[in-house]
Structure 1
């Protein structure tokens, strides 16, 4: 596997002696533009600052002309892993910034759970890693195998979305019309994550939809957003008589969070982002013992540190919703995960890059 990354690096390095374009900003991205939110917000912020040029390098397409633009960029941003970076020798005038797509620290990842040699090579070629809080610096240092001096807790650029002006009434009306939802009902968003143990991936083997709807459907509608890896564990015949609304392919995940009144999740980091909205979160962990024993683990104590109640059965889930969801830990939890909660993360990142982050500044 490393061979193709090394070949890519050698091709890239052909162009690194070319003159740097001080106004060129490059973004490394998948063709399907997954995890593109941070990059879009950084691009918008650069557009507000002056006459910059932008280049998107699609990492699953090999183009020599695109490689040359990447090699001659003053600023390079990425939002996910890009293994060829380990073998790419950027010009000393280029600044390489990893924004990472997830906020805070919840599930362990990277060097916290696997061999870290490749990650160390990548981090050696990365100038800065942007995270959301000082509290999580040690976790990210371990996960990325990166020196803490390169970590900057400036925020999650795409989280600026929640501080923009949105016409919630119009968005909700459009949502109601699209899915045939009663406007008087509150939305419960359920976002189960992927399990390595296939036995636990069909959540409807553990969530009793009939019981859930019998008790709650007068007041709530259940909206499901599946992790892409677990769609194959579901069949279309599950959804009958309006049991739930499948929004797995809904384009704007952040809009779903904005519209939802309650979040049900299990081991997904989406709960950290939802915490910015100061709305209730429930953790439906029907397979917790197995997950703790056999999956990758957490940076926190799952049973004690979460910002909402942990339930294990449909009955417990219904009871928590009916009796009222404890949100007493939500504020302090969110403040641990974000140094600043103000909608200015994109501005902080670009300020840092332009004014403080230059290697030669």
Structure 2
């Protein structure tokens, strides 16, 4: 692309995201939002239109499989249209396009797992279903004592969060623990659907060797090796710009490959906010980058072991009752300065906490030699956080929001 064309494209992007366009869209919403709602129109979005995934996907697929009489569309970020273009029978619309305005303004239902644009007014008769995207370990919303993110400060962040949450009509919760935190952290006083997470239905309903083998083949992973899923979270204070976070891979891949590469491969899954494009040259047959894989649920199923840190992925992976290792090399800083935790992570984590590559390898070899026997605290963890997960969470959410209408 020529420099002039690139510059023109950047100007268009800045214009589209600028205050004039936002004011125009907001005015259009205020006008169109007064029109009668299309009672069977539902719009879905996952991670700001970047993915076809998570609980919105599970709810959408449940409604489609059960042939419910709804007209359904997905909202797609124009930078991630390739995700939706390859999907069969999934109708999607470019975010911030004219069609998007009309659909969002006329839809009876919005279903998403993250916050929508702050300037977007919710029409009076629209039902906004917020599924959120994880059981909380790290502090959320107004519970965060000090904000380290770019483009905001603590007071502004909390005010904006409460304003967004005031638009929600339903909030999906995976367990009683999360319900209590969500209500307080989001200042939410409407209907909480304590159902388990719809996104975990897939894990409960497809956890069998045949499905795992099929997914490994589709992902291009060797059938004769075990899979380690490494899925770390982002750090609030390590960023390039608003919404684009850095990540320093502290794991020594050379050492990992040398010591366990004959038996294992690593499936790498970065957080959707992380902007890094890691150079994996020389590790092509050992490390596979699935950061842009459409849904992490397939990666959970094919993983024999999870390595994470403070990401909420471990609450979901726990449903499979497989081994987990927590690579918490910066736990003191993360716990005491960046976010803080809702419970004593070191005591309740459903697996060992390690800080070095040597320790990671030691834990993996220990599992290989002695097998995996869940500790008592893993069973306790499961009973507190996973007790509602039975493969029918989507059914419970749909019955509450849609079938009763």
Q: Residue 130 of structure 2: which of 86, 93, 98 is its match? A: 98
Unaligned runs of 5+ in 2: 1-17, 78-93, 145-153, 240-245
The answer on 1:109 being equivalent to 2:140 is yes
- TM-score, with structure 2 as normaliser: 0.75
Residue 303 of structure 1 aligns to a residue whose secondary structure is helix
Unaligned runs of 5+ in 1: none
Distance, in Å, in 1 between the alignment partners of 2:218 and 2:104 is: 44
Deviation, structure 1 residue 343: 0.8
The answer on 1:10 being equivalent to 2:21 is no
Deviation, structure 1 residue 273: 1.1
What residue number does 1:202 align with? 248
Deviation, structure 1 residue 144: 2.0
Distance, in Å, in 1 between the alignment partners of 2:20 and 2:170 is: 26
Total equivalences in the alignment:
349
Deviation, structure 1 residue 335: 3.2
Distance, in Å, in 2 between the alignment partners of 1:2 and 1:130 is: 32
Deviation, structure 1 residue 169: 3.8
Distance, in Å, in 2 between the alignment partners of 1:108 and 1:35 is: 26
Distance, in Å, in 1 between the alignment partners of 2:47 and 2:349 is: 32
The answer on 1:189 being equivalent to 2:229 is yes
What residue number does 1:327 align with? 374
Distance, in Å, in 2 between the alignment partners of 1:301 and 1:14 is: 49
- TM-score, with structure 1 as normaliser: 0.83
What residue number does 1:160 align with? 201
Distance, in Å, in 2 between the alignment partners of 1:175 and 1:98 is: 32
What residue number does 2:121 align with? 88
Distance, in Å, in 2 between the alignment partners of 1:39 and 1:7 is: 28
Query: 1:227·1:248 contact (CA, 8 Å) conserved in 2?
Result: yes
What residue number does 2:10 align with? none
The answer on 1:138 being equivalent to 2:175 is no
Deviation, structure 1 residue 283: 0.1
Question: Deviation digits for residues 23-46 of structure 1, max 9, x if unmatched?
Answer: 222224578542633223222333
Distance, in Å, in 1 between the alignment partners of 2:200 and 2:210 is: 21
Distance, in Å, in 1 between the alignment partners of 2:403 and 2:210 is: 40
Query: 2:267·2:290 contact (CA, 8 Å) conserved in 1?
Result: yes
The answer on 1:267 being equivalent to 2:310 is yes
Residue 111 of structure 2 aligns to a residue whose secondary structure is strand
The answer on 1:45 being equivalent to 2:62 is yes
Distance, in Å, in 1 between the alignment partners of 2:219 and 2:74 is: 33
Change (3 A) 1:333 1:32: same
Distance, in Å, in 1 between the alignment partners of 2:212 and 2:201 is: 18
What residue number does 1:70 align with? 104
Distance, in Å, in 2 between the alignment partners of 1:71 and 1:230 is: 31
Question: Deviation digits for residues 264-314 of structure 1, max 9, x if unmatched?
Answer: 111211111111111111101122222223322222222112111101122
Change (3 A) 1:20 1:197: closer
